C-alpha cells in the first residue's frame, strides 16, 4: 500500500499542502497547514513525491467543512476545506514567496489579500460538461484527473444562482433532444441584462438543433441562446442578443460607473465585484493625470483602461483578439470616449513598432494571459513610462517578468497586492506597481 504519516508544514503554489516523508518534500492535495495525515504516495521522483490523503489523523484548526458534496471529487475547487480568511492569508504568503524566489526581490511589499465580497455564488460564467447516459443527461464538471462527468443536479455553489437555474432548465430541454450525445459542453454567463448560454454542438444537424431550441424559447430563463460548432468564430444565434455587460467604477469618481460590454464567447473577469475592486486598485496605482499618455497592453474590451480614459490626455490600447477590440471600440463610442485608440495587433509586434517610432508614454498597463508577457517586457522599458501597472493571474510568470523589467528596464517594484478573484481555489490574481529608477 505504500502508506506513510506526514505533518503539513506549509502550503505551495497550486494549492497543495507540503510536508516531508523520510526527509523528502511531499505535496498532498486537500490538506492544510497543521494537518497530521496518513497518505499514499502516488508519484515519486528523486527530489520530491506526491501523495493522496488516506486518513486524517489530526485535523488542523484551519479546517472547515466543505459546502459542496462533490468537493474532492470534482476537478474545480481545491480549497473549500480551508477557512476563508486563512485562504486569503495563504495567498499573501505564496505571492510574497514567489516574488522572492522567482522575482529576485528580497523583501517585497505585499499587502494583505483583498478578499472577495462573496465567498460562494460569485462566478458569473461556468462551463458545464455534459455526458449522455441511459438514465438521462449528466451535467457538471470533470472528475479530478479524468474526463468523467460529475453530475451536479443542484448546481455548483460557487456560480451565480441565476446560472444554476438556467443550467437546470436547460437540462430538462437538452436531455430530450435526439442527438444529446453530440453536446459535450454548455457555457452559461450572467450579465447586467440577464443570462446567456452557448450550447456546444459536434453533430451534423445544426439547422435542426437550432429549430428545436427555438421552440423552447418560452421555457428558458435566458436573454440569449447560441450554438457553437467548433471555434469561437462559429457561434450561431438561436435567439437573443450576443452582448453581455458588467459595471466598473470610474477612476475619476468611484461613485459613478460605466457599463462595459463584450461579445458572447469573449473574455471577462468572472468575479464582477472583485473586478471592480481590481479596477479601483489599478487606478490608485496609475494615478492618471490630464497630461498623461496611457498605454494598455492586452486591453481586452477596455475593462481597466476605459474607466481611466477621462483622466488622461490620450489612451492607446492593444489587443490581439479581434472581437475584444470590437467590443472596446463599441464601449468607447457608447461612453463618448474620444481620446482613445484601439488597435488589433500582436502586443509584441506593437511594442516593437512603438519603440521604433520612439513613442513615449507616462504609464503602461499590462494585463497579459497566464503565460505572461516575457517578450513584450524586454522592450517596454524603452517607451519611457515612469510607471508600469502589471495585472496577473499567475504569480510565477509575473515574478519572472518583473525581474526582467527590473534588470533590463531599470524599474523597481513598489508594491504587489493579491486579490482573491477565485475564492475556494488556490488561484491568485495580483496587481503590481513598478516605478522607473533613476
**Sheet with 194-200, edge to edge strand ranges:** 149-151, 136-142, 125-133, 185-191, 194-200, 224-228, 235-240
- Per DSSP, the three-state class of 340 is strand
Are 437 and 408 in contact by the 8 Å Cβ rule? The answer is: no
Q: Are 8 and 19 in contact (CB under 8 A)?
A: yes
Q: Which residues have a Cβ under 8 Å from the Cβ of 274 and sit 6 or more positions away?
A: 114, 116, 117, 122, 419, 420, 421, 429
For residues 10 and 16, give the distance between their C-alpha atoms in angstroms, rounded to a whole number: 9
> Number of H helices and number of E strands within the chain?
8, 22
Single out the residue of 127, 223, 130, 209 nearest to residue 171, CA to CA.
130
CB 167 within 8 A of CB 154: no
Give the span between the Cα atoms of 289 and 353, in whole angstroms: 25
The Cα 320–Cα 298 span in angstroms is: 7
Integer angstrom CA distances of residue 178 from 108, 140, 212: 58, 20, 10
Q: Where are the beta strands (DSSP E) in 233-382?
A: 235-240, 243-249, 257-263, 293-297, 314-319, 340-344, 363-366
Catalytically annotated residue among 26, 77, 251, 393: 393
Distance, in Å, from the CA atom of 24 to the CA atom of 354, rounded to the nearest integer, reads: 50
Q: What distance in Å separates the CA atoms of residue 224 and residue 242, rounded to the nearest whole number?
A: 7
The burial class, CB within 10 Å (0-12 / 13-18 / 19+), for 287 is middle
Largest Cα separation within the chain, whole Å, is 69
406 noted as active-site residue: no
Pairing type for strands 149-151 and 48-58 reads unpaired
Question: Sign (positive/negative) of CA torsion 133, 138, 144, 145?
Answer: positive
Report which of 112, 66, 144 is spatially closest to residue 424, judged by C-alpha positions.
Answer: 66
CB 195 within 8 A of CB 245: no
| Collapsed DSSP state (helix, strand, coil) of residue 71 | coil
Helices 84-101, 395-408: inter-axial angle, 10-degree rounding: 40
Residues with a catalytic annotation lie at 393
Amino acid at each position: 500500500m505504500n502508506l506513510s504519516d506526514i505533518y503539513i508544514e506549509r502550503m505551495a503554489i497550486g494549492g497543495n499542502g507540503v510536508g516531508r516523508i523520510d526527509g523528502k518534500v511531499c505535496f498532498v492535495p486537500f490538506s492544510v497547514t497543521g494537518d497530521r495525515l496518513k497518505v499514499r504516495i502516488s508519484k515519486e521522483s528523486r527530489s520530491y513525491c506526491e501523495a493522496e490523503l488516506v486518513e486524517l489523523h489530526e485535523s488542523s484548526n484551519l479546517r472547515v467543512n466543505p459546502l459542496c458534496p462533490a468537493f474532492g471529487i470534482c476537478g474545480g475547487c481545491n480549497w473549500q476545506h480551508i477557512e476563508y480568511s486563512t485562504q486569503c492569508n495563504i495567498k499573501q504568503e505564496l505571492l510574497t514567496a514567489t516574488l522572492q524566489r522567482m522575482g529576485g526581490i528580497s523583501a517585497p511589499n505585499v499587502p494583505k489579500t483583498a478578499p472577495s465580497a462573496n465567498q460562494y455564488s460569485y462566478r458569473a460564467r461556468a462551463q458545464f460538461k455534459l455526458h449522455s447516459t441511459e438514465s438521462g443527461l449528466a451535467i457538471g464538471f470533470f472528475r479530478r484527473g479524468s474526463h468523467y462527468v460529475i453530475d451536479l443536479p443542484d448546481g455548483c455553489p460557487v456560480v451565480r444562482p441565476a446560472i444554476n437555474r438556467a443550467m437546470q432548465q436547460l437540462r430538462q430541454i437538452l436531455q430530450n433532444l435526439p442527438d444529446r450525445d453530440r453536446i459535450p459542453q454548455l457555457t452559461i454567463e450572467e450579465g447586467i441584462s440577464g443570462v446567456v448560454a452557448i450550447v456546444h454542438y459536434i453533430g451534423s444537424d445544426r439547422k435542426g438543433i437550432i429549430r428545436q431550441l427555438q421552440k423552447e424559447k418560452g421555457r428558458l430563463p435566458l436573454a440569449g441562446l447560441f450554438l457553437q460548432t467548433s471555434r469561437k468564430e462559429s457561434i450561431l444565434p438561436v435567439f437573443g442578443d450576443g452582448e453581455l455587460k458588467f459595471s466598473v467604477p470610474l477612476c475619476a469618481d468611484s461613485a459613478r460607473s460605466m457599463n462595459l460590454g463584450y461579445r458572447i464567447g469573449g473574455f471577462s473577469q468572472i468575479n464582477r465585484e472583485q473586478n471592480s475592486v481590481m479596477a479601483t486598485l489599478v487606478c490608485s496605482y496609475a494615478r492618471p493625470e490630464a497630461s498623461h499618455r496611457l498605454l494598455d497592453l492586452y486591453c481586452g474590451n477596455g475593462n481597466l483602461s476605459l474607466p481611466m480614459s477621462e483622466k488622461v490626455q490620450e489612451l492607446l490600447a492593444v489587443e490581439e483578439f479581434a472581437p475584444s477590440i470590437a467590443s472596446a471600440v463599441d464601449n468607447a463610442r457608447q461612453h463618448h470616449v474620444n481620446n482613445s485608440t484601439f488597435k488589433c495587433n500582436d502586443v509584441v509586434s506593437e511594442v516593437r513598432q512603438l519603440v521604433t517610432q520612439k513613442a513615449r508614454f507616462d504609464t503602461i498597463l499590462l494585463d497579459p494571459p497566464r503565460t505572461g508577457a516575457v517578450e513584450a517586457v524586454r522592450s517596454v522599458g524603452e517607451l519611457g513610462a515612469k510607471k508600469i501597472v502589471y495585472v496577473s493571474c499567475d504569480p510565477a510568470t509575473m515574478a519572472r517578468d518583473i525581474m526582467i523589467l527590473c534588470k533590463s528596464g531599470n524599474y523597481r517594484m513598489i508594491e504587489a497586492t493579491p486579490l482573491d478573484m477565485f475564492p475556494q481555489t488556490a488561484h491568485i490574481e495580483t496587481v503590481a506597481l513598478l516605478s522607473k529608477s533613476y
